[in-house]
Amino acid sequence: MGSNASRRPRIGITTYLEPAAWGIWKREAALVPQVYLDAVVAAGGVPLLLPPVGTDPSVLEILDGLVIAGGCDVDPGSYQATPHPETVDTRPGRDDHEAILIRAALDSDVPLLAICRGLQMLNVTLGGTLHQHLPDVVAHDAHRPEPATFGTVEVKTEPGTLTARILGERADGSCYHHQALDVVAPGLKVTARADDGTVEAAEVEGHDFALGVQWHPEENPEDLRLFTALIRSTS
C-alpha cells in the first residue's frame, strides 16, 4: 500500500525465533538485531516486527515496505539439494514464513529490501539455488572471516540498474555469510558482484523496488542509502 502523507512509512522486518536471555529469563523469543530497527528509523520509517509464526500474507496490507533480514542458513530442502556438511542450524519454518511474505510483497508490489540471507531467500523463492559453502567456490573465507566478525566486500554494480542508481559504480559493505546465489532464479537480474564473482545484489524484473543485497547495509549507520531508497519508494 502507498504511504499516507500524515504518517511515516511502516516497514515490516522479518525476525528470528531463537533461544534468548533477558533478566532472569531464558526462553524462545522473536528477535532481530537493533541495527535493523535503527536503520529504518534513521531513514524515516517505522519498524514493525514480523515473527515467523502465524504467518498471514494479508499483513502486507498495512505495510508500506518489507525488509527480509539476515540470519541462519537456508534449508537446502527449499531448493531440492542435499545438505552440505557446512550447512547447519537451518530454520525451515522461517524459510516458509519468508517465502510467503516475499511472494505477497511481489504480488502486491510492496517495496522489498532483502538482506544477506534475505537475498538468498528471494532467489530460492523464485526458483533459484545456492552455493551452500562459498569457500568451496571462491577458495577463501573473506566473506565470513571469523565467527561473529564481519568482513568487508567491495562490489561493482551494473550500469542502468536500481542498484547503481542508489549506490553508484562501486560500493563497500559489511559481509558475513558462507552461502551465496548459484543458479539465479528466472526474473531475477544480477545487479552487482564482488571481485571474486560472488553475486552481491539482484533485482526482480518488472518491479519498481524489489532488491536484494548479500552484504549488511544496516551495519553502517553512516551509509543509509539503501534504507533511504526503500523509504522513498513507498511514497
Cell numbers of 108, please? 502486491
116 catalytic, yes or no? yes
Q: What is the mean pLDDT of residues 230-235?
A: 96
pLDDT greater than 50 at residue 3: no
Question: To the nearest whole percent, how much of the chain has pLDDT over 70?
Answer: 98
Q: Give dist(CA 112, CA 107) in Å, integer.
A: 11
216 catalytic, yes or no? yes
Q: Which of 98, 116, 143, 175 is catalytic?
A: 116
Q: Which of 98, 178, 216, 219 is catalytic?
A: 216
What does the pLDDT look like over 191-223, one tens digit per residue?
A: 999 999 999 999 999 999 999 999 999 999 999
Q: Which of 200, 203, 218, 219 is catalytic?
A: 218
175 catalytic, yes or no? no
In words, the CATH class of domain 10-233 is: alpha beta
pLDDT greater than 50 at residue 151: yes
- pLDDT value at position 4? 56
Q: What is the mean pLDDT of residues 140-156?
A: 96
pLDDT greater than 80 at residue 141: yes
Closest to 190 measured CA to CA, from 167, 156, 233: 156
Average pLDDT value for the chain = 96
Q: What is the mean pLDDT of residues 80-89?
A: 95
Q: pLDDT band at residue 6, thresholds of 50, 70 and 90?
A: confident
Closest to 31 measured CA to CA, from 13, 55, 45, 57: 13
Instruction: Report angle CA 192, 156, 130 to the nearest 5 degrees.
Output: 35
What does the pLDDT look like over 157-196, one tens digit per residue?
A: 999 999 999 999 999 999 999 999 999 999 999 999 999 9
